[in-house]
Amino acid sequence: MKRNLLSSAIIVAIMALGLTGCDDKKAETETPPPANSQPAAPAPEAKPTEAPVAKAEVKPETPAQPVVDEQAVFDEKMDVYIKCYNKLQIPVQNSLARYADWLKDFKQGPTGKESLVYGIYGISESNLSECQKGIKRVVALTPALQPIDGVAVSYIDAAVALGNTINEMDKYYTQENYKDDAFAKGKTLHQTGNDSNLLIVFYVQIMPDDLVMQLHRF
CA distance linking residue 199 with residue 33, whole number of Å: 125
Residue 171 located in a structural domain: yes
What is the tens place of the pLDDT at every residue in 82-141? Answer: 999 899 988 998 999 999 999 999 889 999 999 999 999 999 999 999 999 999 999 999
Of 99-103, 112-116, 180-184, 191-195, the least confident:
191-195
Mean pLDDT of the chain: 76
Q: What residues make up the domain containing 167?
A: 70-217
Q: What is the DSSP string of 62-107?
A: PPPPPPP-HHHHHHHHHHHHHHHHHHHHHHHHHHHHHHHHT-S-TT
Residue 20 belongs to a domain: no
- Whole-angstrom CA distances from 130 to 84, 157, 167 are 8, 13, 16
- Tens digit of pLDDT for each residue in 157-176? 989 999 999 999 999 999 99
Q: Alpha-carbon dihedral of residues 134, 92, 79, 126, nearest 10 degrees?
A: 40
* Maximum Cα–Cα distance across the chain: 194
0.75 exceeded by pTM: no
Give the residue-averaged pLDDT of 188-201.
79
Specify the pLDDT at position 198.
Answer: 72
Number of domains comprising the chain: 1
Length of the chain: 218
- Within a domain: residue 29? no
